């Protein structure tokens, strides 16, 4: 009887310990996921300001860069896709691609002296650079939050829970527009 009571007690403690671990691990992953969401929401404000400048940049460049219309069209299309994205992952992937394209636009502008001298272009380039600096500051916190989340769900034994709850690795934001 004493042995049976000891076995039952140990079994109950193991079950309770496992349940407490699962609840704790679940709550920890939820915390890190919410931190990443919050960090992205802070970036999203700056991204929207940058998106508001893009149509003016495209229109200004289009007048000078007739041979580069495909790049400018792609910038406009990506901007629309990002604004229509409903999840953080879609926005992150789109923003990474948009940052590379904007960098390319600024590189292409180097070949157009009249465009480089255009006051509106210079003002837009300056505002986009300011926005990118602000985004870079916020991006660091976002990437750190995503890295902590990804590390947690890829570590054993949380890896097992990640599979059960269908938690997925998240993307980080790349470096952005070259200045």
Q: Where are the domains of the chain?
A: 22-165
User: How many CB atoms lie under 10 A from the CB of residue 12?
Assistant: 10
**What pLDDT was estimated at residue 84?**
92
Instruction: Please give the mean pLDDT across all residues of the chain.
Output: 88
Task: For residue 65, give Cα distances in angstroms to 52, 57, 62, 72, 84.
Answer: 21, 12, 5, 9, 27
- Where does the pLDDT of residue 179 fall: very low under 50, low under 70, confident under 90, or very high at 90 and above? very low
Task: For residue 124, give Cα distances in angstroms to 50, 100, 115, 119, 175.
Answer: 10, 17, 12, 9, 20
* pLDDT above 80 (res 136): yes
**What pLDDT was estimated at residue 176?**
53
- pTM for the predicted model, two decimal places: 0.68
pLDDT digits over 45-103, tens only? 888 888 899 998 888 888 788 778 888 889 999 999 999 998 888 888 898 899 888 88
Kindly write down the DSSP assignment for every residue of 49-96, as one continuous string. HHHHHHHHHHHHHHHH-GGGHHHHHHHHHHHHHHHH--SHHHHHHHHH
- Any idea which architecture 22-165 has in CATH? Up-down Bundle (1.20)
**What pLDDT was estimated at residue 175?**
54
Would you say 16 and 9 are in contact if contact means Cβ atoms under 8 Å apart? no
**What pLDDT was estimated at residue 177?**
46
Task: For residue 155, give Cα distances in angstroms to 57, 62, 108, 116, 167.
Answer: 44, 49, 44, 50, 12
Is the four-CA dihedral 89, 91, 94, 100 of positive or negative sign? negative
Question: Phi-psi category of 174—alpha, beta or left, where left has phi over 0 and alpha has psi -120 to 50?
Answer: beta
């Amino acid at each position: 009887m004493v042995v049976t009571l000891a076995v039952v007690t140990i079994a109950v403690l193991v079950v309770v310990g496992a349940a407490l671990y699962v609840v704790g691990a679940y709550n920890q992953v939820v915390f890190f996921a919410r931190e990443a969401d919050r960090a992205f929401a802070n970036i999203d404000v700056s991204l929207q300001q940058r998106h508001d400048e893009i149509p003016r940049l495209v229109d200004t460049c289009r007048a000078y860069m007739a041979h580069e219309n495909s790049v400018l069209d792609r910038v406009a299309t990506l901007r629309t896709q990002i604004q229509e994205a409903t999840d953080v992952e879609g926005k992150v992937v789109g923003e990474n691609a948009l940052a590379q394209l904007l960098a390319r636009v600024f590189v292409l502008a180097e070949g157009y002296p009249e465009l480089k001298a255009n006051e509106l272009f210079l003002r837009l380039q300056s505002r986009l650079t300011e926005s990118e600096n602000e985004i870079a500051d916020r991006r660091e916190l976002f990437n750190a939050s995503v890295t902590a989340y990804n590390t947690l769900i890829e570590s054993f034994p949380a890896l097992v829970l990640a599979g059960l709850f269908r938690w997925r690795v998240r993307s980080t934001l790349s470096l952005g527009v070259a200045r």
